[in-house]
Amino acid sequence: MTRLEAALQGDVIAILEDGHATQSSVEVATTAGSVVLDTPGAATLVGEGTGSLTQPRVLPDDVTETLFGDAIDAEPQRPDRFILYFEEGLDELTQASTDEMPNLLQAINRRDGPRVDIVGHADRVGPEPFNAILSRRRAELVRRLIVDQLSQPVVTVVSSYGEQDPLVPTADEVAEPRNRRVEVTIR
């Protein structure tokens, strides 16, 4: 226990930075009253035995680290997500998606023991059985590109939905480039 923790007579409730652009707030309520924490880093002290609340104040970074560092470090890393697009009717990446592959590989290499979920999709041009096979071939191509270019072992899970899970709903036989994709989630 640090000197700071020993000096506190009660529990510290804080709203921590979560990395999202949206703003969060928490109402801390006891029998003695309530306060709203609506700023990242804002905290209140709940008095031990009394339930009294201090006025919210933003904690300095070093105090936040002392009090909550272990909890922050235990939080799992957020997944990285990529969408790679394909040429119509083919298992060939578009040039823009080919150019995105180094970023995807870097995201995998930044993780220890990564798991990569790879999900293939197709648009609604052509027969449904063909699109089911094509979406699987696209996902398998991305898996091969990943595995062949990494220097570390990686767990990959490959699945495909054919034309069943469009990003942009369309009628049958409508070409939609955004539906010809592979979604990659890196955990």
pLDDT digits (tens, 9 = 90+) for 26-81: 899 999 999 999 988 899 989 888 888 999 999 999 988 988 888 888 888 899 99
What pLDDT, on a 0 to 100 scale, did the predictor assign at position 34? 92
**In the chain, where are the structural domains located?**
3-73, 80-186
pLDDT(111) > 90: yes
Of the listed ranges 104-108, 113-117, 131-135, 150-154, the one predicted with least confidence: 150-154
pTM of the entire structure? 0.71
What is the per-residue pLDDT across 3-25, written as a single tens digit (0 to 9) for each?
A: 545 456 788 888 887 665 567 78
What is the per-residue pLDDT across 133-175, written as a single tens digit (0 to 9) for each?
A: 999 999 999 999 999 999 889 999 999 999 999 999 999 999 9
Give me the DSSP letters along the chain: --HHHHH--EEEEE----S-SS---EEEEETTEEEEE-STTEEEEEETTT--BPPPEEPPHHHHHHHHHHHHHHSPPPPEEEEEEB-TTSS-B-HHHHHHHHHHHHHHHTSSS-EEEEEE---SSS-HHHHHHHHHHHHHHHHHHHHHH-SS--EEEEEE-TTSS-SS---TT---GGGSEEEEEE-
What pLDDT, on a 0 to 100 scale, did the predictor assign at position 126? 97
pLDDT(93) > 90: yes
CATH number for the domain formed by residue range(s) 80-186: 3.30.1330.60
